[in-house]
Structure 1
Amino acid sequence: MPPLIGIHFVDENGVNRPVCSYIRPLRAGRLLDTPRQAARFVSLLGYEKAPVVGGGGKQEQWCTLLSFLCQNKGDCEDHANLLCSLLLGFGLNAYVCVGTTAKSVPHTWVMACGTDGTITFWNSLTGDRYIHKSNNPDDPPLLQQQKPTYPYRTIGCVFNHQSFFANCQPSDAVELCEFDFHDESKWKAMSEEAIMTVCAQGSTTSLPPFPPLCASVIDSAAASNEIELEIRNMVSEHRKDLGLATVWDDHLSYLLSPALSAYEMERTTGISCGNEEFQDAIRTAVPDGHTFKGFPIHFVHRNARRAFSTCLRSPFCDEIVCCRGDHVRIAVRVRVFPYPNQLVQYGLCLLASTAWCCNIL
């Protein structure tokens, strides 16, 4: 497969724009505090395959940032462009990478080059991060090489608002690539003057100033209570249809809050904390002789019925919701985490306790 190198892409208005014009440092003000939180925000935007435009030489359509944020959904290129812009705003040396996945599907992701030479790949669709370490193809066959943890196979070019580099290394395999952009034998650079000519503000192909992100107007506590009440009603009705009574335990419900907070904190910081306190509190609250199962689940919408239907499709969740036994107690907790542009991420935990089993959803 020839290297994937795209210099121009058509936007939603049919205008053929250079890829560098889709990127510009974007500061989120006080709405996003860290690069990882920015990655979490971008990953919450919906994924939708871009339409193909044109006649014989068909080409994928890219969205401008304004269009992407207005729709709250887009293709991997749109996610990567936004994440790269946000990382640049946080002062990182970030680029969009154009290549293929492990299944040879065209794909884009983001790369950040550290001052110490560390190369970090950012998956803009999931928020996951991967450290890249290059393998030397000339190493002896018996020397064990590191197996890549990232889902990328090849890379054709990288770019941001100021630079465009085409990969001209003997192999375009990501695991063999070195990212020294000053080495002209490995990366062919486009003239910075040419980039500024077509991407500078006011040029015919430049985009209007990027719009600021909008602060969320969602009341987290009120939204959490509303969804939680709906889930409670649906659990009660579902169990009633099975001939099962439902007794709610508000204390156990409250004890599930730290777990939901810890799950989201781990996604935005990469740090896991508070698990010891949560487990200790649950062990204290659950009577002797009881056991429990855990199943946290997360959603990026506020449709409680849709969320409950998703839970029931899991055999494990269904077993928890339909728990039978003596002295059954049910607890549920919902926590909504608002993000800019009215995006939300919320976690749901459901716990059922009996004299023989205690289950957490």
Structure 2
Amino acid sequence: MSLPPEKASELKQIIHQQLLKMDVHGRIREVLAETIREELAPEHQQLSTEDMIKALRQRGIVDDVMKELKFVTVLGGKAFLEHLQEPEPLPGQICSTFTLCLHFRNQRFRSKPVPCACEPDFQDGFLLEVHKDSLGDGSKMVDATTMLSICDPVHMVLIKTDTFGETTLVASYFLEWRSVLAAENGITNVAVELLGVGTESKVSVGVLNIRLEMYPQLSKTLSSEIIRTQFTLERQKTAEKERLFLVYAKQWWREYLQIRPTHNSRLVKIFAQGDCEDHANLLCSLLLGFGLEAFVCVGTKAKGVPHTWVMTCGSDETITFWESLTGHRYLHRPINPDDPPLAEQPKPLHPYRTIGCIFNHQKFFGNCQPSDAVEVCVFDLHDESKWKPMSGEAIKSVCPPGATSSVPPFPPLCASTIDAAVTSNEIEVQLRILVSEHRKDLGFSTVWDDQLSYLLSPALAAYELERTTGVSAGNEEFQDAIRRAVPDGHTFKGFPIHFVHRNARRAFATCLR
């Protein structure tokens, strides 16, 4: 029987905490020492660490133990002032919770949820592997200097889950862990100030107290001066790369403006950040990962509001737009402005009005067609009279694989923690109560037909399948079953609504509208 990765990771943490509690490491060392002494000559009564490691290797005891490990222990939080007046939850009472998620190299971790409070009671430890098999000899411990070159930070994300099960991002923080390489006993404590997101990105959310511990302890630690010098060199190297790219980007922009003056008003953003931008970046990355040719589009939607969405180019030259905030997809059918006025033109179904530029991790194109209206846009990216490309080498200079980390592979996506069947049943019960209460206020009684409810499930499954895969399953059999189930003189009416949340009250309010 195999465990899913997230369960295996959770199990490791539990075992590690239990081992520390029982001082199993010390006991194992004593037993090993006794056993090895019996086999060695009397003059070897004083065992060194080298003797131990040699004996363990001879016995073939797992090489994994010899990797460098780092413990990150979260010792609670303070100054989460938004929750200053939060009452302490009673036992069994549902309350809002904080969850801390960690990502280090290709490892993911998640803390136990703790009630939201001014001083949330985080008491969790995480075992992070610094030196992985794939990056060298797994049985050989790397020294402090080698670890200093591993520049990956520990990415920490704080998530809040409210009483309705809705999750929101509270803070994101990149923890620089390498200060522990200078700690005398391999342990250092840091207080991390978390800043908010979006419009509150300059506002402090709270503080986390964190202890970093290197295990096994390093035979030789580094001086703080060496670590500071390394950080300075890394910052200077990054700054120089960005400076050179900025010089190129300015030159590219000047050339773009020379094509026609109206380009000055087009949404060509070489540097951008925000809400829908992040969603579009994530969706584009996922689609690229699944082997599609995908780009993030920067432009406007109705009333000239700036917006970003995603575009994929099919092998048959079909262009599909993807709305990252809702999951809707639209097929792009360009209108030829040179066609005679009598020719029937397809009405665009998508909400996008203009497009200024498109990009992915390797390419950047500025739209230099006479009109930037999406409906007349031709996506022939090889035609430089329609799309001005940016130098691939320039992009690679600031965005090479592994530029922000020392290891390219990313961790697999975590499996959903939601039990679909249980959640579905809970939402159905909540919706039934809301419907009954609403009809009661209108003076109607409500009778539920469980058999009809059962007959609706194939249609619901078909709609969900179409939503997730784009494959439309025929519903003739479903219609026939409904006709047989509805009594004479009665009418069946229904249509599907898709939601991207699990809040029954919000869903019911949408249904009423």
TM-score by length of structure 1 reads 0.60
Q: Report the more deviating stretch, 252-261 or 223-232.
A: 223-232
- Residue 266, structure 1, aligned to residue 477, structure 2: no
Q: Is the 8 A contact 1:100 1:153 kept in 2?
A: yes
Counting aligned pairs with the same residue, the percent is: 73
Distance 1:205 1:145, change over 3 A: farther
Q: Is the 8 A contact 1:259 1:278 kept in 2?
A: yes
Distance 1:121 1:281, change over 3 A: same
Distance 1:147 1:205, change over 3 A: farther
Distance 1:251 1:176, change over 3 A: closer
Distance 2:402 2:479 in 1: 58
**Higher RCO, 1 or 2 (CA under 8 Å, sep at least 6)?**
1
- Residue 178, structure 1, aligned to residue 366, structure 2: no
What secondary structure sits across from 1:127 in the alignment? coil
Distance 2:503 2:345 in 1: 47
Which residue number corresponds to residue 172 of structure 2?
none
Which residue number corresponds to residue 104 of structure 1?
304
Which residue number corresponds to residue 254 of structure 1?
454
- Residue 131, structure 1, aligned to residue 331, structure 2: yes
Deviations 1:265-319 (A, max 9, x none): 22223343242222221221222222232244443333334444544x44xxxxx
Q: Report the more deviating stretch, 112-121 or 93-102.
A: 112-121
Deviations 1:75-100 (A, max 9, x none): 22122111111111111111111111
Distance 1:310 1:148 in 2: 25
| Deviation, structure 1 residue 160 | 0.5
Q: Is the 8 A contact 1:169 1:186 kept in 2?
A: yes
Q: Is the 8 A contact 1:199 1:206 kept in 2?
A: no
Count of matched residue positions in the alignment of Structure 1 and Structure 2: 254
Distance 1:76 1:207, change over 3 A: farther
Distance 1:289 1:204, change over 3 A: closer
What secondary structure sits across from 1:183 in the alignment? coil
Which residue number corresponds to residue 95 of structure 1?
295
Distance 2:427 2:435 in 1: 12
Distance 1:85 1:46, change over 3 A: farther
| Deviation, structure 1 residue 203 | 3.2
Distance 1:216 1:183, change over 3 A: same
- Residue 275, structure 1, aligned to residue 475, structure 2: yes
Distance 2:406 2:381 in 1: 25
Distance 1:250 1:173, change over 3 A: closer
Distance 1:77 1:164 in 2: 15
Distance 1:90 1:102 in 2: 31
What secondary structure sits across from 1:260 in the alignment? helix
Deviations 1:308-348 (A, max 9, x none): 4544x44xxxxxxxxxxxxxxxxxxxxxxxxxxxxxxxxxx
> Is there any run of 5+ residues in structure 2 with no aligned partner, and where?
1-165, 170-196, 203-268
| Deviation, structure 1 residue 192 | 0.9
- Output the amino acid matched with 1:269: T
- Provide the alpha-carbon RMSD of the alignment: 3.6
- The structure richer in helix per residue is 2
Distance 1:98 1:150 in 2: 15
Which residue number corresponds to residue 318 of structure 2?
118
Distance 1:249 1:77 in 2: 45
What pairs up with 1:160-175 in 2 under 5 angstroms? 160-175=360-375
Q: Is the 8 A contact 1:53 1:61 kept in 2?
A: no
Deviations 1:138-178 (A, max 9, x none): 44555554443332222111111111111122222223322
Distance 1:256 1:195, change over 3 A: same
Which residue number corresponds to residue 273 of structure 2?
62
- Output the amino acid matched with 1:118: T
What secondary structure sits across from 2:492 in the alignment? coil
What pairs up with 1:26-45 in 2 under 5 angstroms? none
Q: Is the 8 A contact 1:200 1:206 kept in 2?
A: no
What pairs up with 1:162-311 in 2 under 5 angstroms? 162-203=362-403, 212-239=412-439, 245-311=445-511
- Output the amino acid matched with 1:181: L
- Output the amino acid matched with 2:469: T
- Output the amino acid matched with 2:273: W
Distance 2:394 2:410 in 1: 22
Distance 2:340 2:387 in 1: 26
Q: Is the 8 A contact 1:84 1:96 kept in 2?
A: yes
| Deviation, structure 1 residue 238 | 4.8
Distance 1:293 1:123, change over 3 A: same
Distance 1:304 1:92 in 2: 35
TM-score by length of structure 2 reads 0.43
Distance 1:207 1:252, change over 3 A: same
> Is there any run of 5+ residues in structure 1 with no aligned partner, and where?
1-43, 64-74, 315-361
Distance 1:209 1:166, change over 3 A: farther
Q: Is the 8 A contact 1:299 1:307 kept in 2?
A: yes
Which residue number corresponds to residue 81 of structure 1?
281
Distance 1:285 1:158, change over 3 A: same
Distance 1:122 1:78 in 2: 14
Which residue number corresponds to residue 57 of structure 2?
none
Distance 1:277 1:266 in 2: 17
Distance 2:438 2:385 in 1: 65
What secondary structure sits across from 1:258 in the alignment? helix
What secondary structure sits across from 2:304 in the alignment? coil
Distance 2:379 2:322 in 1: 15
Distance 2:302 2:279 in 1: 19
- Output the amino acid matched with 1:77: E
Deviations 1:202-244 (A, max 9, x none): 4369998655422112222222222223333444455556665
| Deviation, structure 1 residue 199 | 0.5
Distance 1:274 1:195, change over 3 A: same
Distance 1:46 1:158, change over 3 A: farther
Distance 2:436 2:391 in 1: 65
Q: Is the 8 A contact 2:326 2:500 kept in 1?
A: no
Distance 2:331 2:456 in 1: 33
